[in-house]
Amino acid sequence: MANAAIELVGVNKWYGDFHVLKDIDLSVGAGEKVVICGPSGSGKSTVVRCINKLEEHQRGTIHLFGRELTNESRSVASIQGEIGMVFQQFNLFPHLSVLDNLTLGPMKARGLSRADAQERARHYLTRVRIPDQANKMPKQLSGGQQQRVAIARSLCMEPKAMLFDEPTSALDPEMISEVLDVMVELAQEGMTMIVVTHEMGFARKVADQMVFMDEGEIVEHGPPDAFFGNPRTARCQKFLSQILQH
């Protein structure tokens, strides 16, 4: 518990009267990979967004690397940039070239020189297998390439953990694997990851823990073998049978 990278205890969140997250407990050790799945509207994105402070939680505690995440802006500023985030819609900056997308954070938030930031950017572009697109604008890239740029942009901040919110749901089917391959590689290199996805092949390959959410609760939680082989709850069984048919 003391050395968990990300630790949520009794986290609750409301949007007005609507109880989005109900007593969420989740402990992610350093280097662990957690895959979260569940039906639409079950609160998966909200969990992830609370961890990097894009949303505030109202009750319970979130610890990142031993530090409590409070709702004060100072702790927010120090945390963002340490936790990488990849969005479903990529959210690249359309007015900046690929290279400038990657160097912006390191230069402005970390104070790197342009030369150092560019060197780092090229390193991570190579890692996501698009070394030769640095000077293009995001629009000129395919969806799969854009998402890999977004992953590289996060990695340029050298985060201690990465969050992925349905990174492949907005992609054409033929591009999904190029993004998943990069993520598998990242997982194998020991990155701490929380991934919201319905790609169960990916989950089986990398997950240490599977989490199934429904209506704001963690309904089922365990290692992938047990999770896929022998889901305890009817809700989870039903969900799995639905998505595994595809």
Partner 1 sequence: MKKLILPLSLLLLLAGCSSSGNWGWYVIDPRTSGGWTNIKFLISGMGSTILISVIAASISIVLGLIVALPGQSGNRWLRLINRIYVEFIRSIPLLPMLFWVFYGLPIVFKSLGINVPIDPFWGAIITLAISDSAFTAEIYRSGIQSIARGQSEAAQTIGLNYVQTMRYVILPQAIRRILPPLANQFIYIVKMSAFASVIGMQELTRRANELVVTEYRPLEIYTLLIVEYLVLVLIISAGVRWLERRMGADERV
Ligand X SMILES: Nc1ncnc2c1ncn2[C@@H]1O[C@H](COP(=O)(O)OP(=O)(O)OP(=O)(O)O)[C@@H](O)[C@H]1O
Residues of this chain that interact with Mg ion (CB under 5 A) are: 45
What is the amino acid identity at position 166? E
| Residues within window 54-83 making contact with partner 1, judged by CB under 8 A | 54, 77, 80-83
Contact assessment for residue 43 and residue 20, using Cβ atoms and an 8 Å cutoff: yes
Shortest distance in whole angstroms from residue 186 CB to partner 1: 16
CB nearer to partner 1: give 53 or 57: 53
Tokens at residue 35, please?
């895959």
| From the list Mg ion, ligand X, partner 1, none, partner contacted by residue 149 (C-beta under 5 to 8 A by kind) | none
CB nearer to partner 1: give 8 or 156: 156
Q: What are phi and psi of 194, to 5 degrees?
A: -120, 120
Crossing angle between the packed helical segments 173-188 and 143-155, to the nearest 10 degrees: 20
CB nearer to partner 1: give 164 or 239: 164
Interface residues toward ligand X, by CB under 6 A: 15, 18, 20, 38, 40-46
**CB within 8 Å of 177: residues ≥ 6 apart:** none
Contact assessment for residue 32 and residue 209, using Cβ atoms and an 8 Å cutoff: yes
8: β partners: 26, 62
| From the list Mg ion, partner 1, ligand X, none, partner contacted by residue 92 (C-beta under 5 to 8 A by kind) | partner 1
Shortest distance in whole angstroms from residue 63 CB to partner 1: 19
Shortest distance in whole angstroms from residue 88 CB to Mg ion: 7
CB nearer to partner 1: give 33 or 49: 49
What end-to-end distance do the CA atoms of the chain give, in Å?
37
Nearest in space to 36 (alpha carbons), one of 158, 167, 175 = 167
Shortest distance in whole angstroms from residue 120 CB to Mg ion: 30
Contact assessment for residue 138 and residue 93, using Cβ atoms and an 8 Å cutoff: yes
| Residues within window 101-160 making contact with partner 1, judged by CB under 8 A | 104-105, 108-110, 150, 153-154, 156-157
Q: Which residues bind partner 1 (CB under 8 A)?
A: 52-54, 77, 80-85, 87, 89, 91-95, 104-105, 108-110, 150, 153-154, 156-157
